[in-house]
Structure 1
Amino acid sequence: MGYRVGVDIGGSFTDFAILDDGTGEVRTLKVFSRPDQPGAEVLAGLAAIQARYGIVPEQISYFTHGTTVGVNTVIQRSGLRLALLTTRGFRDVLELARLRAPNMYDLLSKRPAPLITRDRVFEVDGRLRADGSEEAPLEEANVLAAGAAAVAAGDEGVVIALLHAYPNPAQEQRARDILAKAHPGLPVFCSAEVWPIVREYERTITAVIGGYVQPKVAHYLGALQAALREAGVAGEPRLTKSNGGVMTAEQGKRDCVQMILSGTASGVIGASFIAGLSGVAECMSLDIGGTSADVALILDGQPQYGVGEHIGEFQVHIPSVSVSSIGEGGGSIAWVDSFGVLQVGPESAGSTPGPACFGRGGTRPTITDAFAVCGLIGQAELGYSAVTVDAGKARAAVGSLAGALGLGVEATAEAIIRIAVSGMYGKVSSITTRFGADPRSMALLAFGGAGPMLGCFLARELGMAEVLVPPTPGVLSALGGLIADLKSDFLQTLYLPLDSAAVPAIREGFTGLRA
């Protein structure tokens, strides 16, 4: 018998859950994250596991982890420089999107600039009908010209998203083969292979995000595989997926879009598991780390699923655990704007330098510093002894805002906490309305490094009578990845009259998906 290890890499800490297959005992651990060197925290954690528990890497038979590499690539806009091939007349598919304002209550809100600008979108001749039959053949000369122009413009990859490719990917595949022959080694991504959904924009943006993050995700996973092998971990590493399941690292290199919400989904899986053990059927999970706060509803003991979850400024239309970001994390920085109004976030101190009270060089006040000033943390071990809370440094950081606000240090700290909680309250209300759920009839399951710290305040505002805190709340996402099962989603669209004559085609479609 060996050990199974689940890892969750957050903005401030990397969390480990270690399950002994023989005894069923679970051990936990935290180390600081290394955003400057992704993957280094995993090796540091393995070394710490050996030092603390005497478990050597060769004893690890199963290794799974969640990562934010894909999400961060989109948020930071640091992915692959892509070109887009579309059917003639659809050049503006990314620019037009769905013609909705991001925030209907803000008259000045603007849609985000697309990941592929209009000058790098190329039209090709060829047309499919809505049922997938060909109306006009693909023009090879157009594809060659588009490929040459993309390479000349410095594009590093091409996304192909042609009209009505979801029932018939033949033209996309033909375009890919033409580009592969003309430009060997050029990454090409076909929308119908990434996720063949109906509607041009949804399919295109999902394929674009998948292609945009693929090189960074593949490089990260390859480096992780090599490092784990060198360390002596024999098992093939697995990744948590957006849908709450897991997949192999090799599959993750190919199907990057399926694991882009890797980290947040595993937390909800862990929360639903704990809720079930506690006999709680209806609850709201609250996951607060160093950077953000995420909420999900667990109804009838099950997480809720959907499509169209947001990755930074964009929606990705794949099946995902429904998780919504509702506010800032424990490392979010408090500041005073030009009007003299106290604000919290979105900038975070992260793990380096971190909150001032961590004593790692941070000087700007964070939510965690506000709690340290109020005496609500610092009375016991924090971060598995990785952090010693320095209340004096917290007071100095929070005090830097007190003068501008005309308040004492304690009053400023309380104001920071109140602002953080009020922001969460407003966003939670819209989420519960969407699902038709009444938070007053639910329990709040708070986890993450800062979840229990803020959970009681939020529960009080929402009128929730019960707050559930796991024994080791800071590593629940790692536990969720550890208990998640293999899970894959498959999709095929059929246009058929809804009568008995359609049954054979539907059965044939399911047979194809199972294969």
Structure 2
Amino acid sequence: MSATLGLAIDIGGTFTDVVVYDPAQGRYTAHKELTTPDDPARGVVAGVRHLFEREGLAYADVGRVVHATTLFTNALIERRGARTGLITTEGFRDTLEIGHERKYELYDLHLPLPRPLVRRALRAEAIERLAPDGTVEIALDPRSVRKAAERLVAQGVCSIAIVFLHAYANPAHEREAARIIAEAHPAIPLSLSSEVSPQIREFERSSTTVANAYVKPLAERYLGRLSADLAALGLAAPLFMMLSNGGLTHLDEAKRVPVQLLESGPAAGALSAAFFGERSGAPDLLAFDMGGTTAKLAMVQDGQPQVVHRFEASRERRFTTGSGLPLTISTVELIEIGAGGGSIAAFDALGLLKVGPRSAGSAPGPACYARGGAEPTVTDGNLLLGYLDAETFAGGTMRLDTGAAERAVDGLARAADLDRDAAASGIHAVVNETMAAAARVHIAEQGHDPRDFALLVTGGGGPLHGCELARRLGINRVICPPGAGVASALGLLLAPARVDRVSTVAQRIDRLDWDAFEGQFQALESEARSVIAATLGPDARVTVTRAADMRFVGQGYELITTLPPGPFDAALAPAIRAAFEAGYERIFARRPPAAIVEVINIRVSVTGAGDDGVLRPDMPAVAAGSAETGRRPARFGGQWLDTPVLDRRRLAAGSAIAGPAIIEETMSTLLVPPGAEAIVDASGNIVITLGALIAGAVETVKETA
């Protein structure tokens, strides 16, 4: 292999995936290591060392390291972040709890509300006030800032968020407060709303800045530790971090605004899905990634994952908008479902079988991992249904204990007066319907019909459950790429550097100062370009996209509209308005007959590629004798069928497979159900056509009968 190897590390809830890729030869090699939740860096180092020793690779040959992690998302969900304080404008101490003053479930009298990350005793006020246009109404009182900081530090605060009213229009007071606090307490990390989220809406801006402060000490410690540990192995290559928007950034930027990393792993999976879907002529697809802890679904249209600029973390009710912490970050739009290989099956108070959201994770893991887990999980059910090989699971890195899985599922079966086979089938059916139900809602909310898409499956569990999920959604075409089990990690190496920046304008188009308007865009672009240059070097090829949050005067919400490239002047006003009105009519099917348009926020997205360009992995399937390695009984629809087991590495392009079939790969297993037909296309993807199986898409779950 050449001296330009790429190393990707993706930490999931159950497994840490490590991939080494050689762009010159188009080859990759991978390893799955159980995640170490108590010290994630330990699992990373163990996985890297194992892979390099197994393959005889040299650390010095690595040109770059790209990393994604769920660590910061989990810290928010589990409330394991730093003890954080908030300093805000006098009179606005309770913004985090007041929120929007509305309930996400109108008639629920016992509605659980998301707990603020900063409790009230750790919120302090400073004397200052800015008007909406940024002019000073009350000058900043330095003594109030010092007093507030001293009180918070005395209470053991390890990180401080500074959120002043209308700081998006004028950051001067926040910057001065930060200077005062840094002089007195230089070891305390600071997060300023004018840097983290410089846009209107006080609740969202406060929530985002506090979340950044909450995970910032953790990010600094973890990323510092990880980079040191990798360097100790002999890896001198730069470490890049995956962002939630599907782009990369350098380590210092990641430490400065770690809230941008919350959905880094799922974003990489969506990029990987878009890449492999394009190779099979499927620019419109649903990217389904099922791992050991959760399953994710992202929509890809015209070959690009959809990126939004608002995200909710730590929802009280997983599928209910408004029940979580609102964050104004750019992220690949997706839905996360509490269903993975480690999801635990149990009966609820009504005696109904539920799977998830509780998960066995990696410690103790499913019962069949033989690491102390005793409750039945999806993986235990799949093993007993004949879908998994106990000897070759996760590339042979661990042997599954069939007896432990039987004991766990038998307990569930006795509780429902079922036999073992019916209980295992029930787990499989319920988790599939749970995922399908969530997917239906998400796709409908986007105004789409799932039948218009192909389903591309990745993750350790995606290929196992993908065909049944597709059947329930009415999707006819399922695509399984090579290396599906580590596709998210491979997606890290496909990602460009990307920086998103936003600023509030809040002006009617007919009153815009066009020179100032263009100047604001150029300032955002300059800031974004500097981050790209620090990531890829000054010679990186850069692409700039301009957009704006626009609305008709009097409306309360905006539509993000892609704008012409600029530069902007009054002559472009009709084109800008036309772009907004076209988007408005596409969503609402009509437009007001005569209304004034205003620009609330402006946005730039700057992407860049280094000298090596975009990676193009070439992983052709090569025939090497018969692909069939054996047969084993597997249960489909209540029947046990003698099912051929195929080695994917021996399937040449053009190979056709009739279901039922089990196709095994190092890191995943693809299940082709009876009645389906699969073919290996020229790119190495396996494309499954469900055909007549789609007729049962609306069938209620009967597999447990």
TM-score normalised by structure 1 residue count: 0.96
The amino acid of 2:9's aligned partner reads V
Contact 1:131 1:495 in 2 (8 A): no
Is 1:505 paired with 2:516? yes
For residue 52 of structure 2, the aligned residue among 50, 61, 66 is: 50
1:137-193 C-alpha deviation (Å, 9 max, x unpaired): 112222222122212322222211111000210111111122223333222221111
Q: For 1:274, which of 267, 273, 276 is the aligned residue?
A: 276
Q: What one-letter code is carried by the residue in structure 2 that aligns with 1:506?
A: F
Deviations 1:192-244 (A, max 9, x none): 11121211011111101111001111111101111111111111111110110
Give matches, 1:191-210, under 5 Å: 191-210=193-212
Q: Say if 2:374 is the partner of 1:363.
A: yes
Deviations 1:317-352 (A, max 9, x none): 111111211231110111233443322222211122
Q: Which amino acid aligns with 1:72?
A: N
Aligned in 2, Cα 1:293/1:380: closer, same or farther, shift over 3 Å? same
Letter of the structure 1 residue corresponding to residue 464 of structure 2: M
Deviations 1:266-287 (A, max 9, x none): 1111111111111102111111
Aligned to 1:39: 41
Q: 1:436 aligns with which of 447, 457, 463?
A: 447
Give yes or no for contact 1:246–1:485 (8 Å, CA) kept in 2: yes
Question: Deviation of residue 116 (structure 1)?
Answer: 0.7
For 2:125, what is the secondary structure of its paired residue? strand
CA offset at residue 379 of structure 1? 7.1
Give, in whole Å, the separation in 2 of the partners of 1:213 and 1:324.
22
Match of 1:75 in 2: 77
Helix, strand or coil at the partner of 2:282: coil
Q: 1:439-450 counterparts in 2 under 5 A?
A: 439-450=450-461
1:62 aligns with 2:73: no
Q: Is the 8 A contact 2:159 2:216 kept in 1?
A: no
The letter of the residue matching 1:274 is: F
Calculate percent identity across the aligned residue pairs.
39
My pick for the range that moved more, 486-495 or 19-28, is: 19-28
CA distance in 2, matches of 1:36, 1:239: 21
SS in 2 for 1:490: strand
State how 1:25-174 maps to structure 2 within 5 Å.
25-103=27-105, 107-174=109-176
| Aligned residue type for 2:71 | V
Separation in 1 of the partners of 2:413 and 2:212? 45
Q: How does 1:298-317 map to 2 (within 5 A)?
A: 298-313=300-315, 314-317=325-328
SS in 1 for 2:345: strand
Give, in angstroms, the shift of residue 425 of structure 1: 2.0
1:35-66 deviations in Å (ceiling 9; x for gaps): 12211222222222222221121111111010
Q: Secondary structure at the match of 1:483?
A: coil
Q: CA deviation at 1:306?
A: 0.7
Does structure 1 retain, via aligned residues, the 8 Å contact 2:34–2:43?
A: yes
Q: 1:391 offset after TM fit, Å? A: 2.7
What letter is aligned with 2:76?
V
Please state if 1:393 is matched with 2:404: yes
- CA–CA distance in 1 between the matches of 2:512 and 2:102? 39
Q: Which amino acid aligns with 2:60?
A: E
Alignment-mate amino acid for residue 120 of structure 1? L
Once residues 380 and 467 of structure 1 are traced to their aligned partners in structure 2, the CA distance between those partners, rounded to angstroms, is: 27
The residue aligned with 2:256 is 254
1:435 Cα deviation after fit: 1.2
Q: 1:367 to 1:106 in 2, by over 3 A?
A: farther
Change beyond 3 A, Cα 1:104–1:19: farther
Query: One-letter code of the match for 1:307?
Result: H
The count of aligned residue pairs is 515
CA-to-aligned-CA distance 1:14-42 (integer Å, 9 cap, x gap): 11222113322222222221112211222
- The residue type paired with residue 57 of structure 1 is Y
**Are the counterparts in 1 of residues 391 and 398 from structure 2 also a CA contact under 8 Å?**
no
User: Corresponding residue for 2:596?
Assistant: none
Distance (whole Å) between structure 2 residues aligned to residue 181 and residue 31 of structure 1:
44
Moved more, 498-507 or 191-200: 498-507
Once the two structures are TM-superposed, the CA of residue 500 in structure 1 deviates from its matched residue by 7.3
Would the aligned equivalents of 2:126 and 2:141 in 1 still touch at CA under 8 Å? yes
Q: Find the residue that maps to 1:353 and give its secondary structure.
A: coil
| Residues 245 and 104 (structure 1), Cα distance of their counterparts in 2 relative to 1, 3 Å cut | farther
Tell which structure's C-alpha radius of gyration is larger. Answer: 2
Q: How many Å separate the matches in 2 of 1:189 and 1:281?
A: 39
Alpha-carbon separation, structure 1, partners of 2:301 and 2:338: 22
* One-letter amino acid of the structure 2 residue matched with residue 137 of structure 1: A
Secondary structure of 1:492's match?
Answer: strand
Unaligned runs of 5+ in 1: none
Q: Deviations over 1:338-385 (max 9, x none)?
A: 443322222211122221223333221101111111112227732111
The answer to whether the 8 Å contact 1:309/1:323 transfers is no
**Which residue of 2 is the match for residue 291 of structure 1?**
293
C-alpha distance in 2 between matches for 1:365 and 1:379: 16
3-state SS of paired residue (1:123):
strand
2:217 pairs with 1:215: yes
Give unmatched runs, 5+ long, in structure 2. Answer: 316-324, 527-705
1:460-499 correspondence runs (5 A): 460-499=471-510
Which one has the bigger helix percentage?
Answer: 1
Matches of 1:412 and 1:501 in 2, distance apart? Answer: 65
Q: What's 1:230 paired with? A: 232
- RMSD over aligned CA atoms reads 1.7
Give distance in 1, aligned partners of 2:103 and 2:456: 33
Q: Write the letter of the residue equivalent to 2:292.
A: G
| CA distance in 1: counterparts of 2:235 and 2:515, whole angstroms | 48
Q: Return 436-445 or 121-130, whichever deviates more.
A: 121-130
- Any idea what SS the aligned residue of 1:274 has? helix
Higher strand share: 2
The CA distance in 1 between the partners of 2:517 and 2:476, in whole Å, is: 48
Q: Distance in 2 between matches of 1:77 and 1:449?
A: 28
Match of 1:383 in 2: 394
Larger deviation: 205-214 or 422-431?
422-431
Partner of 2:413, secondary structure, is: helix
String of CA shifts for 1:249-270, please: whole Å, max 9, x gaps: 2221112112122111111111
Q: Distance in 1 between matches of 2:348 and 2:180?
A: 54
Alpha-carbon contact 1:101-1:110 (below 8 Å) kept = no
**CA–CA distance in structure 1, aligned partners of residues 508 and 482 of structure 2:** 54
Query: Please, which of 454, 457, 477 is the counterpart of residue 465 of structure 2?
Result: 454
Name the SS for the 1:150 alignment partner: helix
CA distance in 2, matches of 1:99, 1:452: 43
